[in-house]
């Protein structure tokens, strides 16, 4: 039965999505790139470089035995925490969009929060193998894991980056659930997390504006509700077939950063329901094949690692799309493999490389 899974089964949806991303990044960014850099291919060329580096990184991690992460998980997690601390230091961390989330390396920048999304799940899978107390116990079995998750979340929120913080918590909680945590424990965590989220919203006025804009963006159409309205105005005219590649209008300085968080709106406008459906279908294929792989994996560490990584990336997909179509407040999350961004693309390719190694050792 294991032969039903092919070594490249997880690769192809990711590769096709990334290629679509290159085309759509050019379409979405050409106007802004011309205005800012006098080069319509500016963002495309940079993303193409990251795409090539990402493919190389994926090939490397595909050849690294996943068993190595069992031995090196604590070191990987500690290094990612150090990076999260370094990014908070003025002069090291770079500020973009009001958040200190980047570390500059020559002409490229890295985002440590993207790295910790993967290393945290690897570490949680390591703990599941090495802690005496199981995660199903509310006391020592679950408490240490929660401290690890909250430490990562807290450092990310100091940047602040609520969107990535929610993905870290969501992906980690799903991993704990796959490891045997009980639903009643999650209910308690949900109440605690909801209280903390309300506190974060009340502590920052811009988060309150985002929440009210999500409920009724037309209350402030030129302010907090601007992004949501412009996104909907892009999706609506797309119809079934779309306006055509390169023929969208919202990227003409209406939709902020159309090549980044709201690239799905540009896809919906230019490629219509068919194009948007294709993208969603590819993400669903990736998720399905990830779950299928997990069913065939015999090693407990590898199984929970597959489930954790696949769920984390899929969760980010659905949150991004939900924001674009106005179902959730604006969170500032990229769409994996499609949005412009080197750190996000490289780390996602790295995660896929890990999955491909597990896959190749399963067939």
Residue 210 has pLDDT above 50, yes or no: yes
Residue 227 has pLDDT above 50, yes or no: yes
Its pTM stands at 0.90
Instruction: Spell out a b/e string for 239-263, using b for 16 or more CB atoms within 10 Å of the CB, else e.
Output: eeebbeeeebebbeeebebbbbbbb
Distance CA(323)–CA(343), nearest Å, equals 21
Tokens of residue 260, six digits = 């980044």
Look at the block and give the residue holding tokens 């980047």. Answer: 102
Q: Which residues contact 351 (CB under 8 A, 6 or more apart)?
A: 118, 309, 313
Least reliable range by pLDDT among 122-131, 136-145, 151-160, 287-296: 136-145
Least reliable range by pLDDT among 24-38, 55-69, 159-173: 159-173
Distance CA(45)–CA(300), nearest Å, equals 41
Distance CA(187)–CA(167), nearest Å, equals 18
Number of neighbouring beta carbons within 10 Å of residue 211: 14
Q: Which SS3 state, helix, strand or coil, does residue 96 take?
A: strand
Distances in Å between the alpha carbon of 137 and those of 149, 180, 185?
A: 17, 9, 9
Residue 7 has pLDDT above 50, yes or no: no
pLDDT in tens, 241-297: 999 999 989 989 888 889 999 999 999 999 999 999 999 999 999 999 999 999 888
> Once rounded to an integer, what is the mean pLDDT over residues 38-45?
94
What's the angle, vertex CA 119, arms to CA 196 and CA 75, rounded to 5? 115
Q: Is 88 exposed, middle or buried (0-12, 13-18, 19+ CB in 10 A)?
A: middle
The conformational region for residue 328 under phi > 0 = left, psi -120 to 50 = alpha, else beta, is beta
> Would you state the pLDDT for residue 24?
97
Residue 332 has pLDDT above 50, yes or no: yes
> Would you state the pLDDT for residue 214?
67
> Once rounded to an integer, what is the mean pLDDT over residues 319-328?
90
Q: Which SS3 state, helix, strand or coil, does residue 280 take?
A: helix
**Residue 119, CA atoms < 13 Å, CB-side half-sphere:** 21
Distance CA(1)–CA(208), nearest Å, equals 52
> Once rounded to an integer, what is the mean pLDDT over residues 309-313?
96
> Would you state the pLDDT for residue 229?
87
> Once rounded to an integer, what is the mean pLDDT over residues 103-115?
79
Kindly report the backbone phi and psi dihedral angles of residue 100, in degrees, each rounded to the nearest multiple of 5, phi listed first: -95, 85
> Once rounded to an integer, what is the mean pLDDT over residues 8-31?
92
Name the β-bridge partners of 119: none
Kindly report the backbone phi and psi dihedral angles of residue 99, in degrees, each rounded to the nearest multiple of 5, phi listed first: -120, 135
> Would you state the pLDDT for residue 3?
45
Percent of the chain with pLDDT over 90: 52
> Would you state the pLDDT for residue 147?
87
> Would you state the pLDDT for residue 143?
81
pLDDT in tens, 335-345: 999 999 888 99
Distance CA(69)–CA(82), nearest Å, equals 18
Number of neighbouring beta carbons within 10 Å of residue 172: 25
> Once rounded to an integer, what is the mean pLDDT over residues 28-37?
93
> Would you state the pLDDT for residue 283?
97
């Amino acid at each position: 039965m294991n032969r039903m899974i092919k070594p490249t089964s997880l690769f192809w949806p990711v590769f096709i999505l990334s290629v679509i991303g290159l085309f759509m990044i050019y379409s979405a960014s050409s106007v802004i790139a011309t205005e800012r850099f006098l080069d319509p291919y500016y963002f495309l060329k940079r993303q193409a470089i990251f795409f090539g580096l990402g493919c190389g990184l994926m090939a490397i991690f595909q050849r690294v035995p996943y068993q190595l992460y069992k031995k090196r998980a604590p070191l990987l997690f500690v290094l990612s925490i150090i990076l999260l601390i370094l990014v908070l230091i003025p002069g090291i961390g770079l500020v973009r969009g009001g958040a200190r989330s980047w570390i500059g390396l020559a002409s490229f920048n890295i985002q440590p929060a993207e790295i910790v999304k993967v290393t945290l799940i690897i570490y949680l899978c390591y703990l599941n193998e090495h802690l005496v107390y199981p995660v199903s116990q509310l006391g020592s079995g679950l408490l240490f894991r929660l401290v690890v998750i909250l430490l990562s979340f807290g450092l990310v929120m100091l940047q602040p980056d609520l969107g990535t913080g929610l993905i870290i918590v969501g992906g980690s909680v799903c991993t704990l659930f796959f490891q045997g945590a009980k639903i009643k424990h999650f209910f308690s965590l949900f109440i605690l997390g909801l209280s903390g989220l309300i506190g974060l919203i009340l502590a920052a006025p811009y988060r309150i504006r985002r929440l009210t804009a999500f409920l009724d963006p037309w209350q402030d159409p030129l302010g907090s509700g601007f992004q949501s309205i412009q996104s909907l105005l892009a999706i609506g005219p797309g119809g079934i077939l779309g306006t055509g590649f390169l023929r969208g209008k919202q990227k003409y300085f209406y939709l902020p950063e159309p090549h980044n968080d709201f690239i799905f709106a540009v896809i919906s406008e230019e490629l219509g329901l068919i194009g948007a459906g294709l993208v969603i279908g590819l993400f669903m294929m990736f998720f399905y094949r990830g779950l299928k792989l997990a069913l065939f994996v015999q090693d407990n560490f590898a199984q929970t690692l597959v489930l954790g990584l696949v769920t984390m990336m899929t969760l980010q997909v659905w949150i991004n799309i939900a924001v674009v179509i106005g179902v959730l407040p604006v969170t500032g999350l990229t769409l994996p493999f499609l949005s412009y961004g080197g750190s996000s693309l490289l780390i996602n390719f790295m995660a896929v490389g890990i999955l491909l190694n597990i896959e190749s050792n399963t067939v």
